Amino acid sequence: MAGIKDVAAHAGVSVATVSRVLNGHSGVRDETRTRVLEAVAELRYRPNTLARSLRTDQTRTLGLVISDVLNPFFTELARAVEDAARSRGYSVIIGNADEQLTLQDHHVRTLLDRRIDGLLVSPADGQSLALREAAVSGIPMVFVDRWIEGLDVPLVRADGRSAVRSLVAHLYALGHRRLAIITGPVASTTSNERVHAFRSALREHGLPLPAAYIGQGDFQTASGRRVAGDFFALPEPPDAVFATDNLMALGVMEQLRMLGLRVPDDVSLAAFDDIPWFLHTDPPITAIAQPTQELGHRAVAALTDLVEGRSAGSVTLSAHLIARRSCGEDERTRR
Amino acid sequence: MAGIKDVAAHAGVSVATVSRVLNGHSGVRDETRTRVLEAVAELRYRPNTLARSLRTDQTRTLGLVISDVLNPFFTELARAVEDAARSRGYSVIIGNADEQLTLQDHHVRTLLDRRIDGLLVSPADGQSLALREAAVSGIPMVFVDRWIEGLDVPLVRADGRSAVRSLVAHLYALGHRRLAIITGPVASTTSNERVHAFRSALREHGLPLPAAYIGQGDFQTASGRRVAGDFFALPEPPDAVFATDNLMALGVMEQLRMLGLRVPDDVSLAAFDDIPWFLHTDPPITAIAQPTQELGHRAVAALTDLVEGRSAGSVTLSAHLIARRSCGEDERTRR
DNA sequence: ATGTGCGATGTAATCGTTTCCACGCGGGGA
DNA sequence: TCCCCGCGTGGAAACGATTACATCGCACAT
């Protein structure tokens, strides 16, 4: 493959001049410039980014570590991140942690080894050694959606608490009194926030949240199935289930179908994170929607601020409830 | 950040020795080796992959260019590719073309500039200059799912033709006679294959495929909506619609809901590519499923064969029909 | 005593860029 | 006439690794 030397030879100039032309530096005679450009075109020369980055110590690349690509919320987030990054002249390398600590750390290390300029992460697990090291190492870093307590890293997220309160009020108004929740991994900050908001909203309505109604999930479909199975093996099963992510809601539906139970007649269902398919499921599913695109854009804005030497603060947007038929009929959702 | 020199100094050896230890070369005294390893640990040294790749001329990285990450089929494919690559010691960088030629070429060029060892691509558009150049440049390359005619590049895909025939037979058996199809972009090889198989299956049943029943889509949700709108503005609308991907099927459902039409009572619906949500839509959607995971694994196997100097051939797997209620009831799907 | 061979290690070139510094040249002011 | 300055350009040193080749002991055979 042709290198800058070949271009220089072909144009009859030095490599320094070629480099100057390529990087748009001033102080090159117009005639020289065009000669170089011709040589570039003729040889189909493309600069070697490895060499360039090695020399300049910047890759114009951002790393994004997400907990699960198969979760549509994260897919959309990744997409938004890539768009925002590209428009700012950065590439993005995605690492999928698959909700596993070891995989997450593997990707963090790999990305750092590649000398990315900044790291965007939605941590799957708070116990990550690699992430703590990265944070203290001083590499530009921003959390998005999920975060790790005790690290001084800007966070871009949506606060779901008021939406959870609305959801509980909605369920209460529809006559539900035995509300259950399916959580994410214990260490998950978002899951904890959702559980906490759920519990205190229940308290406001004078409802209990028995331990049996707290199902321990892991944000994956299978755990939704398992927990739903547990719930309906109870002597007094819940009459409404709130899954703290959309994959677990899918698992619940699969289990319900196996058990021959119907939504919302036998039990109501709601999920955190709205996705297009929720409109067309049987029945359409009530969900809490996050401003996913904006989350991605804001996160990239914060990260590039850091990368380019500006300062960046945390951003909190808000989520909102979208009521559909899966929690029962009322005047708003009937159609 | 600590470099190999620092490690060498700290361990009291030369950089050559450090490099030898790091790369597991033999001929280093055990005692020296442990001293180096201690220095590595103490300085938290991590090799700079940029420098390494520059020198060795290999990145142990594969590029994957897909047409649309938001399409669950491709998300799953990407996931499978990453898994397979990682188990072989490669990283993957994903480029999302978003069904746009310019974006696709942008990613191909960016990946090549990064000196990836091999390129896996599911081309969004056949007119890609960047891809043709890449192909002739001799970089290891494999097509997956979609391909470009006339390029000598191994292809890993699933043949959907027999599944399409089964689908048509299924629809015919259920009494449908006015079958319509929504295609992908004109240049899309997979779409063309599906249309062709659909047309010839119709012919076998003595059914026509009028031009008005061929809706020109682009594999995106919005085009499904638009084409469905067109179909139902026809004096004699189809009684069954086959969308050649799942996103367009979603668009059809959205449009149908707006028009107040019901599936399968007013019209039947089937889609290419099965996704978990199809089980829970109203009604569950008949789909043609591809062996997505295996596609990803085989593609990586073929590509790494090429990268590592072995030869690789094309692979054709097969897709199969999964009948559900969206095409009407019969003894198999009733429950 | 000397040569030989081998194991362990060091020296330095190299990969493809960017960029600091020096150089030659021509014009304008003293 | 001489000096200085600025413009355009080239030479060469980095960046951080890998690796071919040289070197150095040392044991052993002769």
A16 CB-side CA count, 13 A: 3
Half-sphere exposure of B252 (CA within 13 A, CB side): 35
For strand D, give the nucleotides within 7 A of a protein CB: 7-12, 14-20
Across the interface, do B50 and A46 touch by the CB < 8 Å criterion? no
Nearest to A221 by CA among A264, A256, A254, A266: A254
Q: What is the pLDDT of residue A324?
A: 94
| Chain B residues touching A46 at Cβ < 8 A | 109, 112-113
Enter the tokens of residue A192.
């904890």
| A183: DSSP letter | E
The answer to whether residues A94 and A242 touch, using CB atoms and an 8 Å cutoff, is no
Report strand pairing: A320-322 vs A315-318. Answer: unpaired
Assess whether pLDDT exceeds 90 at residue B282: no
Cα A269 to Cα A288: distance, rounded to the nearest angstrom = 12
| pLDDT tens per residue across span B8-18 | 999 999 999 99
Predicted confidence (pLDDT) at residue B333 exceeds the cutoff of 50: no
Any residues with CB less than 8 A from the CB of B265 and at least 6 apart, and which? none
3-state secondary structure (DSSP) of residue A214? strand
pLDDT band at B330 (very low <50, low <70, confident <90, very high): low
Contacts of residue A326, Cβ cutoff 8 Å, sequence gap at least 6: A263, A264, A268, A269, A270, A281, A283, A284, A285, A286
Of the candidates B50, B82, B112, the beta carbon closest to that of A46 is on B112
Q: Which amino acid appears at position B132 of this protein?
A: R
Would you call A102 helix, strand, or coil by DSSP?
helix
CA B40 to C1' D24 (Å) is 27
Q: Judged by CB atoms within 8 Å, which residues 88-117 of B form the interface with A? A: 91, 93-94, 96, 109-110, 112-115
**How many angstroms is C1' of D14 away from CA of A231?**
66
Please give the angle made by the CA atoms of B301, B303 and B305, to the nearest 5 degrees.
70
Torsion from C-alpha of A104, A105, A110, A114, nearest 10 degrees: 100
Could you report the per-residue pLDDT of B195-221, keeping only the tens digit for each?
999 999 999 999 999 999 999 999 999
User: Out of B72, B96, B253, whose CB is closest to A79?
Assistant: B96
Rounded-to-10 torsion of CA A207, A208, A209, A211: -160
Distance of alpha carbon A328 from alpha carbon A252, whole angstroms: 17
pLDDT band of B97, cuts 50, 70, 90: very high
Which positions 51-110 on chain A have a beta carbon less than 7 angstroms from any atom of strand C?
Answer: 51-52, 54-56
Distance in Å from D7's C1' to A26's CA comes to 11
* Integer Cα distance of A216 and A209 in angstroms: 14
Strand D at less than 7 A from CB of A54? yes
* Residues B100, B41: Cα–Cα separation, whole Å: 46
What's chain B look like in SS3?
CCCHHHHHHHHCCCHHHHHHHHCCCCCCCHHHHHHHHHHHHHHCCCCCHHHHHHHHCCCCEEEEEECCCCCHHHHHHHHHHHHHHHHCCCEEEEEECCCCHHHHHHHHHHHHHCCCCEEEECCCCCCCHHHHHHHHHCCCEEEECCCCCCCCCCEEEEECHHHHHHHHHHHHHCCCCCEEEEECCCCCHHHHHHHHHHHHHHHHCCCCCCHHHEEECCCCHHHHHHHHHHHCCCCCCCCEEEECCHHHHHHHHHHHHHHCCCCCCCCEEEEECCCHHHHCECCCCEEEECCHHHHHHHHHHHHHHHHCCCCCCCEEEECEEECCHHHCCCCCCCC
pLDDT per position as a tens digit, B117-146:
999 999 987 789 999 999 999 999 999 999
The pLDDT confidence band at residue B54, using thresholds 50, 70 and 90, is very high
Interatomic distance A284 CA / C16 C1' (Å): 57
Mean of the per-residue pLDDT values of chain B? 94
Best of B45, B50, B62, B253 to substitute, by most chain A Cβ atoms within 10 angstroms, is B50
Per the CB < 8 A criterion, the answer to whether B308 and B117 are in contact is: no
Check CB contact of A249 with chain B, cutoff 8 Å. no
CA atom of A68 to C1′ atom of D16, Å: 34
Q: Which residue of A has its CA nearest to B263?
A: A280
Low-confidence ranges of chain A (pLDDT < 70): 330-335
Q: Does B257 touch chain A (CB under 8 A)?
A: yes
pTM of the predicted model as reported, rounded to 2 decimal places: 0.94
Residue of A nearest to B57 (CA): A50
Interface residue B66 vs chain A (CB under 8 A): no
Mean pLDDT of chain A: 94
pLDDT at B334: 42
* CB B74 within 8 Å of CB B67: yes
Q: What is the DSSP letter of A273?
A: S
State the best of B277, B278, B292 to mutate against chain A, taking most chain A CBs within 10 Å. B277
Contact A281 B280 (CB under 8 A): yes
- A277 touches B: beta carbon within 8 Å: yes
Give residue B328's pLDDT band: very low, low, confident or very high (50, 70, 90). Answer: confident
Residue pairs spanning A and B at CB distance below 8 A: 92
CB of B14 nearer than 7 A to strand C: yes
Other C-beta atoms closer than 10 Å to the C-beta of A148 total 19
Read off the pLDDT of residues A4-17 as tens digits, 9 standing for 90 and up.
999 999 999 999 99
Confidence of residue B187 (pLDDT cuts 50, 70, 90): confident
Contact flag A112-B47 (C-beta cutoff 8 Å): no
Tens-digit pLDDT profile for residues B251-266: 999 999 999 999 899 9
The separation, in Å, between residue B29 CA and nucleotide D29 C1' comes to 26
Looking at residue A35, the DSSP 8-state letter turns out to be H
